[in-house]
A and B are shown apart, each in its own frame.
Chain A
Amino acid sequence: MTALALDRRRAARWLQEYGVYVAVAALLLFNVAFTANFLSVGNFRTQLVQAAPVCIVALGMALVIGTEGVDLSVGAVMALSAALVPLYLGYGPLPAVAIALAAGLLAGAFNGVLVAHLGIQPIVATLALLVGGRGLALVIADGQLVQVHDPTFLWLGTGDVLGVPVSVLAAGVFAAVVALLVSRTTFGRQVVAIGGNRAASTLAGLPVKRTLVGVYAICAVLAAVAGVLSTARLSASDPADVGLLMELSAITAVVVGGTPLTGGRVRVLGTVTGALLMQLVAATLIKHDLPYSSAQMAQAAIIVGAVYVARERSSR
């Protein structure tokens, strides 16, 4: 009985650790066998390009969740950065992107100050910006979808570097940077320590508040990047629609990737794979002529599974 329980616990632990990789591998194999034209460069390209924004946002979300927090405002921040781009594109693509990212930084700092300095619960603090951010974006854009024509800017959405789409490359670079940040920098280690035991971190003299503000700022800047890339890909700024429900997709990718919601751990590769998994699930079902609604239900099942596995582990 106890041996069985131990085995189950070990299985659950293994699943949380590696389940997401196994799931992606299994889905790939399934598609290779049963999906027509799956093994084509064009298809892989499409899948990666579609997964890239979620992946970039999820990286920031993983950091926030690592501190035992959550950021619900990422979708709204995407809308905000998307709304700002066409306003400043007249000064050239670089200033426009810089201003969009600066807006993200500001939004993130706002969230961070609410959480770290005013002690508001993350879910409530970021809820304010979830509601207000998109509203502000719509005001900025006057509620309109604005076409974007600047060719240099559009390159961000359609261009390649050595055959790799810019957005995919960006996701890869950010993933590498965040991975290094978590594993090799004082900041990253402090993030994990604060999530693991905040009282102990405070007594150890860690800059808890500064670190928390930093984490929310990074998360929002990454969301702003995703907003810029989405705008470039659409060749239109659509603040009413861009990044809608992104917070849920990002949280899903993080959780499915094995980062516990209780904080104290950040899994970067798992998060990236989690984003890919959700994209693959949707693509697989659609390619087999199942409606998008069924993809949503499959995703829901995966989330429940991931949370269940995590629960098994924490009730140790």
Chain B
Amino acid sequence: MVLEVVDVTKEFTGVRALDRVSFELEPGEVHALVGENGAGKSTLIKVLTGVHRPTSGTVLHRGEAVEFARPADAQRAGISTIYQEVNLVPLMSVADNLFLGREPRRRGLVDRKRAHADAAELLAGYGIRADVRRPLGTLGVGAQQMVALARAVAADAHVVIMDEPTSSLEPREVETLFSVVERLHERGIAIVYVSHRLDELYRICDRVTVLRDGRRVHTGPLADLSRLELVSMMLGRSVGDLREHGATAFGEDHQAGREPVLEARGLSSGQRLRDVSLSIRPGEVVGLAGLLGSGRSETARAIVGALPLDSGTVLVGGVEVGSGVPGAMRAGVTMLAEDRKAEGIIPNLSVRENIVLAALPRLSRFGVVSRARQDRIVNTFIERLRIKVSGPEQKVAELSGGNQQKVLLARWLCTRPKVLLLDEPTRGIDVGAKAEVQALVDELAREGLAVLLISSELEELLDGADRLLVLKDGAVVDELAGDRLTRDDVLAAIAADES
């Protein structure tokens, strides 16, 4: 074993991100590390690279127990990491970046000539042809990543960790990356490869470790595992998370309207979204299934006008919506964003102000806000959504995750939307609040709201949605409804090898 993790547990203030996880990396292998959101992949990588220190358990490097206090320690030991975003200096030349901190010297001064020659030779070794004098920032993202890779390996790394290296690459650049991985492989360098693209994993990886909910569920040769088995291991959930009252009762009691209220046609945005079309009728809950990075959030963001599109239109009630988020909101489309902290709450404002934020213009006359109208609407929602607060003036930052989520739901509901896009509405909230939010989604749909539901939890989707669209690599690959709305069908659609 070149690198080994034994029984590592990592806790963050009450949350257990890794639960006695073991992981073994053999010399010269390409080892895939997979898992959905919150599975513990990033935490494991951060333990390996010295960003986090394990709460318990040991990390063994070439058979010896090590404690990396800082990322620099791991790097010195020969463990290099290539992140999704290239972290080099864009304004410096390619050569300077390659040799940053260990420039070839001559009589105490940097020997530029040699640096340039060495850099060109190094890159050529990986089949990359680029002018090493050019600032790194002028190269494409793919080429930049290759430089980062070359730098890592030149620094005598024998372990390279690649965190979703292809997420921002063009297909051609992916090919170059793979050929570089191939060469590293030949030189006996071990690689930890994190990606959600099954095609890539099966092409270049020897073994796979699957994490789920902070635990290791499987390690073994990738060739022994079918795509279906792999996906079901990634997505499987414990039964305890299931909602008690089973499938939601749409259809018989609450017929969805006939005409779709929302229609999205041919949404495309670079590699992230490729010709996605969908429609939702009033009273219908449409789910988006797919692995992380398959374009679920991007679809929602595109519909609400928060993602620049190359092409595609969004219609509400047959009328094209205006540009940007304000345009979508005027048409009655709102989105509950995935990242509550970064894109949801405004921490230093009160619960009241957070709720009325989007509806302010409607609650004011000639630009002067009416406190009475605000209080009425805020109290209604606090009661209806059972938001636990000491009062409407409490700071929203002081609330629990579940209550913050309810505040955000209230924010969107008080704009009286026709279409509600929910991106991971129950992520990171406790079980009780989760059930309440799920019940609320049900209720809203029954009242005629059109809902788009995104979730990494398959059960939540199967239970909550009337119809499921399966996304893969930014495109819709299947639509499931009725009898085909089952766990096996979803897994099969995600695992299908279309190439």
Contact = CB atoms under 8 A, between A and B. Distances in A.
Interface of A: 184-187, 189-190, 192-193, 196-197, 199-207, 264-265
A186 B371 CA distance: 11
A204 B411 contact: yes
Contact of B361 (A186, A192, A202): A186
B335 interface: yes
A201 B326 contact: no
29 contacts: A184-B368, A184-B369, A185-B369, A186-B360, A186-B364, A186-B368, A189-B369, A192-B346, A193-B346, A193-B349, A196-B346, A196-B347, A196-B348, A197-B342, A197-B346, A200-B337, A200-B343, A200-B346, A202-B306, A202-B325, A204-B358, A205-B326, A205-B328, A205-B329, A205-B334, A205-B415, A206-B326, A264-B347, A265-B348
Ranked nearest first, the 4 interchain pairs of A and B with the lowest CB-CB distance are: A205-B329, A196-B346, A204-B358, A197-B346
A185 to B, nearest CB: 5
Contacts of B325: 202-205
Contacts of B347: 196-197, 264
A176 to B, nearest CB: 14
Contacts of B360: 186, 189-190
B305 to A, nearest CB: 9
Nearest to B346: A196
A56 B441 CA distance: 50
A185 B349 contact: no
A197 B304 contact: no
Nearest to A185: B367
Contact of A207 (B326, B348, B349, B357): B326
Contacts of A193: 346, 349, 353, 357
Interface in B321-356: 325-326, 328-329, 334-335, 337, 342-349, 353
A185 B366 CA distance: 9
Given A185-B364, A187-B367, A200-B343, A206 B348 contact: no
Nearest to B333: A205
B404 to A, nearest CB: 12
Contacts of A200: 337, 342-346
Do most interface residues of chain B lie in helix, strand or loop, or is the interface mixed? mixed
Contacts of B357: 189, 193, 201, 204, 206
A276 to B, nearest CB: 26
Contacts of A186: 360-361, 364, 367-369
A160 to B, nearest CB: 32
B297 to A, nearest CB: 12
Contacts of B304: 203
B358 A192 contact: no
B497 to A, nearest CB: 36
B475 to A, nearest CB: 25
Nearest to A265: B348
Contacts of A196: 346-349
Contacts of A189: 353, 357, 360, 369
Given A204-B358, A204-B411, 4 more contacts: A192-B346, A193-B346, A200-B343, A204-B357
Contact of A206 (B342, B345, B358): B358
Contacts of B343: 197, 199-200, 203
Nearest to B336: A203
B306 A201 contact: no
A189 B355 CA distance: 12
Nearest to B374: A189
A224 to B, nearest CB: 23
B302 to A, nearest CB: 13
Nearest to A194: B346
A206 B337 CA distance: 15
A264 B347 CA distance: 9
A245 B246 CA distance: 68
Contacts of B415: 205
B276 to A, nearest CB: 20
A268 to B, nearest CB: 16
Contacts of A203: 304, 306, 325, 335, 337, 343-344
A201 B354 CA distance: 10
Contacts of A204: 325, 357-358, 411
A260 B458 CA distance: 44
A193 B344 CA distance: 11
Contacts of A206: 326, 357-358
A190 B360 CA distance: 9
A203 B326 CA distance: 8
A199 B411 CA distance: 15
A72 B415 CA distance: 38
Chain A CB within 10 A, most for which of B325, B343, B346, B349? B346
A190 B334 CA distance: 18
Contacts of B335: 203
B348 A264 contact: yes
A265 B347 CA distance: 11
A131 B358 CA distance: 38
Interface in B48-76: none
Most buried by B among A192, A197, A203: A203
Contacts of B328: 205
A197 B340 CA distance: 11
A212 to B, nearest CB: 15
Contacts of A207: 326
Contacts of B342: 197, 199-200
A264 B329 contact: no
B353 to A, nearest CB: 7
Nearest to B325: A205
Contacts of A190: 360
Contacts of A265: 348
Contacts of B337: 200, 203
Given A199-B342, A203-B335, A204-B411, A185 B348 contact: no
A184 B367 CA distance: 8
A186 B357 CA distance: 9
A165 B349 CA distance: 37
A264 B346 contact: yes
B345 A197 contact: yes
Nearest to A180: B368
A187 B337 CA distance: 24
Contacts of A197: 342-347
A199 B14 CA distance: 28
Nearest to A207: B326
B369 to A, nearest CB: 6
Contacts of B329: 205
Contacts of B349: 192-193, 196, 264
A202 B326 CA distance: 9
Nearest to A209: B324
A287 B411 CA distance: 55
A142 B421 CA distance: 60
Nearest to A316: B397
Interface string B67-97: 0000000000000000000000000000000
A203 B334 CA distance: 8
